[in-house]
Structure 1
């Protein structure tokens, strides 16, 4: 069974190579602040994401505190992606030590 792994905020910040970062928080929260290069992911664009995203590039799933991202990461992993991560601590942990982009 394909599953996801946990990744720390620090490891995401220092990630080497290509990575796809998806933010599953609500659109207002995303607009108020998100990780650089993160893309919003929700029920409306999930099918397009699965279709258009290369399966061999690691995917990091971000939510508020690293809880709901685990379930989303599991679903994404089951779609045939090679490496899927749930970021521990979520966006709230990221913004304590790292840059945030507002839309």
Structure 2
């Protein structure tokens, strides 16, 4: 069975150019602040994400605190992605250590 792994904020920051970052927080939270180049992922655009994202592309799932991202990462891993990560500490940990952007 496909599995996800955990990844730290610092490792995501180092590898940001090679990772697809999906933010599963609610659209309002995402709009107020999110990681650079992150895509807000929800039930409405999940099918489109699956269609356009190569299964060889590493994916990082981000939520508020790193809890619900684990379940979402498992679902994405089950879709055949080779490398799926749940970012420990979530967006709140990122916000403390790294730059954020807003819409």
| Structure 2, gaps ≥5 residues long | none
Query: Which aligned runs of 4 or more in structure 1 are off by greater than 2 angstroms?
Result: none
Which residue number corresponds to residue 14 of structure 2?
Answer: 14
How many matched pairs? 103
Q: TM-score, normalised by structure 1?
A: 0.97
- Aligned Cα RMSD in Å? 0.9
Between the aligned partners of 1:86 and 1:15, the Cα distance in structure 2 is 14
| Structure 1, gaps ≥5 residues long | none
Which residue number corresponds to residue 76 of structure 1?
Answer: 76
Between the aligned partners of 2:87 and 2:54, the Cα distance in structure 1 is 20
Between the aligned partners of 1:97 and 1:19, the Cα distance in structure 2 is 18
Which residue number corresponds to residue 96 of structure 1?
Answer: 96
Distance 1:16 1:28, change over 3 A: closer
